[in-house]
Amino acid sequence: MSRRGRRPAPLPVRDGLNPTRLALPREEAWGSLVSYLEARFPGDAERLREQVGAGEVVDELGRPYTLTSPYPGGGLAFLYRDVAPEAPVPFESEVLHRDEHLVVVDKPHFLAVTPRGAWVTETVLTRLRRSLGMPGLSPAHRLDRPTAGVLVLTTRPEERGAYQELFARRQVAKVYEAVVTLPPGLELPTTVRSRIVKQHGVHQAVTVPGDDNAVTHVSLMRPLPGGRALVQLRPETGRTHQLRVHLAGLGAPIVGDRLYPVEREVAPDDYSDPLQLLARSIAFDDPLTGERREFTSRRTLTAAG
């Protein structure tokens, strides 16, 4: 999907997937674009030569590269990469709402929102683009793969920025629920304020000194057996892993969390212990129609009883 301020890709969505965008390093020198591609993706060298020869690799203006095209250092190349087979994720999103501007779904645990890393076709976005026949569909906000609940997607690329701005300006009321291990002496309700940083390539986000950039309001919904509790979370901000970091910091980690407070190895296809975190509801004033939008998940947290 296109980032705000970036020129749209010159190739259309195909089979639910965006083309791959390659930024060609300016400081490198290659005799031809093909030489660079073969070195970048040695396992796909033959297939890449076929694509270039067929005019399927283009620049940012949609002009096809050829087998003799010189290496355009600092330029861009767009192409479709062949997708490796993926094990099916045995959970489905439920469509809660659909109109000309939005598609709102109830996302299950274990299903990634957008293609990334090991998950490309087994994602909310790719599945919905295919099943609904909507290649312009894009998420308006993030929801972690382990988290279930309400996810808002926009139907038209030109309208996506208006909805993203709502989240950026904190004009969206979000309510989450979580089952946590409740430590003795923790008084609720409470508000957690901290500075959270997530480094690229590092699984965990961390709290660091500095001005607050993450705020979460935590309240008790009801106690549960075994020292657990169902809590409600109202985040004012949307930092990566914010709710998981804040609850772990309170000594009340979310049941089923594989990252916090300590990372633990679990097989990718082990669905036996889902993160007990649910995006229960979301509400905002629609930037295009002005109407109040409110969507609520129909899912339940298994550990909540």
| Active site (catalytic) residues | 144
Strands (DSSP E) along the chain, which ranges? 20-23, 76-79, 94-98, 102-107, 138-139, 148-154, 173-181, 190-197, 206-208, 214-224, 228-235, 277-285, 292-296
Residue 197 CB contacts under 8 Å (≥ 6 apart), including other chains: 205, 206, 208
CB hemisphere CA count around 301 (13 angstroms)? 25
How far is Cα 268 from Cα 260, in angstroms, rounded to an integer? 17
What is the identity of the amino acid at 271?
Answer: Y
Residue 152, Cβ density class (10 Å: 0-12 exposed, 13-18 middle, ≥19 buried):
buried
DSSP result, 242-254? HHHHHHHHTT-PB
Hey, which residues does 103 pair with through a beta bridge?
Answer: 98, 153
What is the identity of the amino acid at 114?
Answer: T
Under a CB-based contact definition with an 8 Å cutoff, are residues 236 and 221 in contact?
no
What tokens were used for 244?
């998981």
